[in-house]
Amino acid sequence: MGERETMFSEIRAVLFDIDGTLLDTFDYIYGAFEHTFDVYGIARLPREEISQLMGGPLEEVYAKMAPGYTAASLAETHRQFQEDNIHLAKLFPDTRNVLDALKHHGLKLAAITTRSNRTSILSLEQNGIADYLDVVVSLEDVVRHKPDPEPLFKALQNLNILPSGAIMIGDTAADIMAGKNAGTKTVAALYGFGGERLRELQPDYAIRNLVELLVIAL
């Protein structure tokens, strides 16, 4: 049995980040930041710089991006844009087929996001994948957020699965560190917001498209 097969042979659950992992939300996320910058007269940050600051709760992200402004107000403008433009959150080409294959093989599936439940579940529903997920943990469901392990522990408790039996897959440093902190295996989604720099965190595995997950998990 090969090293990779041994590593993932006991997997019973897959924990997904949503944005940049299950859903193509590049225009949805960057558009919300750019809209907010424009509303408040803040010079737009390059998208590459935005991507390096993403992963944590929105208020914390804006506190870093615009320290002279009220982060809560910026975050509210951001969330309102997302509510009004939910159509910008779209499926990656392989998302539905991958979720279908994982469920067919009896794996439990959860989504864990720092996005508000004002839009997180709706974006999954409108793309027809909410029913694949046994648990969705959003911003309001926990006190501490990724990279803290609390949201992962909450999902795993609902699934009745130990961390050692789960994979955390995500596209930001917060996702990978949350998995490490929780004791799950970690998979870096290099096709998302974090890109190749996620390799620096030494995830257990890295994939360039979602379908590669099937080689690991099944």
Which of the residues 17, 19, 175, 204 is marked catalytic? 17
Contacts of 212 (CB under 8 A, 6+ apart): none
Q: Give the span between the Cα atoms of 8 and 149, in whole angstroms.
A: 20
Give yes or no: 38 in active site.
Answer: no
Measured in whole angstroms, the distance separating CA 191 from the mean position of its chain's CA atoms is 12
Contacts of 108 (CB under 8 A, 6+ apart): 12, 13, 14, 134, 135, 159, 161
Judge whether 96 and 23 are in contact, CB under 8 Å.
no
Give catalytic residues, as residue numbers: 17
